A and B are shown apart, each in its own frame.
Chain A
Amino acid sequence: MNRLEFMDALESRLSRLSSEERDDALRYYEELFDEAGPIEEQKIIDDLGSPEDIARQILVDNGVEPDGRPQYMIDDVVSPGQTPPPQAEVIDSGAQNAKNNNNIVIIIIIVVLTFPLWVGVLGTLFGVTVGLIGTMFGLTVGVTAAGAGLLAFGIAGLFSVPQFALIFIGAGLILISIDILLVFPLIKWLIGLVPKIVGTVVSAVKKLTSSKAQPAGR
């Protein structure tokens, strides 16, 4: 593995982090390679350990659950040998497995029992989101049309009845400015929200399916 492969592997495994956290971590490792220089590159990579382990640690520190168990928690004792004694790990993971299996059964029962409830909740959430987006869309179209109409009307009457025409032009401009100041950013924000919601749902489903698949695989 070379520097590029190392950084690529690390980056892809940190994709679930916020961009700020990810950039900070990647930057730290880039700088490390820069400091060490190309001659030391291989030595650094050997010292660092696998990008998978590094990414796992960073994910755990950020409260993102990686796939599988972390090697150690940062708040636990960090031994000078960097990794905990393997025999402790084995004893520990047996007990952990039994506990995990129990938990999974309980989770599945809860999910099945509450099926009508969460379908309702999901449906409501979906409905509210669609409704909100629809409302915003309607509002923009309405406000834009009203503003443009008033503006056009005012300009048309500018020479025949200037005293009223100016009021129309003013009102039209106010509406259009409301559009630009409030409604457009709001819509942009809402549209930006969609991938986030989808991402959350997808990762939740993934988590659920992967924790179900685990006992079958063992």
Chain B
Amino acid sequence: MGFPISAALLDSMVLAIVMKEDTYGYEITRNLREVADVSESTLYPVLRRLQKGQLLETYDKEYMGRNRRYYRVTAAGIKALEEYRQDWKNHKEMIDSILET
């Protein structure tokens, strides 16, 4: 599989994963790993950027005697995800119009 994953695509996938259910960094990577070869160190900048853009926010929840940092999609994040989904759909249809026979 030789198609690179763009930063925008990573952003939208992370938003979509967190949208399903509030979750934490390790779990997000595990989810992404199912479709792409992304390492934990790729994810950190993505999470930080989404946080700074106020598309994601964090809260701490105790788990086995330590704090786990959970991520939650903000209202702005929900809107951004909708736009991403629309953009992706258009993009996919355009590519398919050439690729598919």
Contacts and interface: CB of A to CB of B under 8 A. Distances in A.
A67 interface: no
Contacts of B68: 31, 35
A148 interface: no
Nearest to B10: A78
B47 A80 contact: no
Q: Is the interface of A mostly helix, strand, loop or mixed?
A: helix
A54 B41 CA distance: 7
A24 interface: yes
B40 A44 contact: yes
Nearest to B7: A75
A125 to B, nearest CB: 32
Contacts of A34: 66
Contacts of A78: 4-7, 10, 38, 42
Contacts of B27: 35
B37 A28 contact: no
A58 interface: yes
Interface in B9-67: 10, 24-27, 36-42, 44-49, 66
A80 B41 contact: no
Interface residues of A, number: 28
B85 interface: no
Contacts of A24: 48
Interface residues of B, number: 27
A27 B67 CA distance: 10
A82 B42 contact: yes
B39 A47 contact: yes
A76 interface: yes
Contact of B49 (A25, A32, A61): A61
Nearest to B36: A80
Contacts of A29: 40, 44
A32 B45 contact: no
Interface of B: 1, 3-7, 10, 24-27, 36-42, 44-49, 66, 68-69
Given A31-B25, A74-B7, A80-B36, 15 more contacts: A24-B48, A25-B44, A31-B26, A31-B69, A35-B24, A49-B41, A57-B45, A58-B45, A74-B46, A78-B6, A78-B10, A78-B42, A79-B4, A81-B37, A82-B38
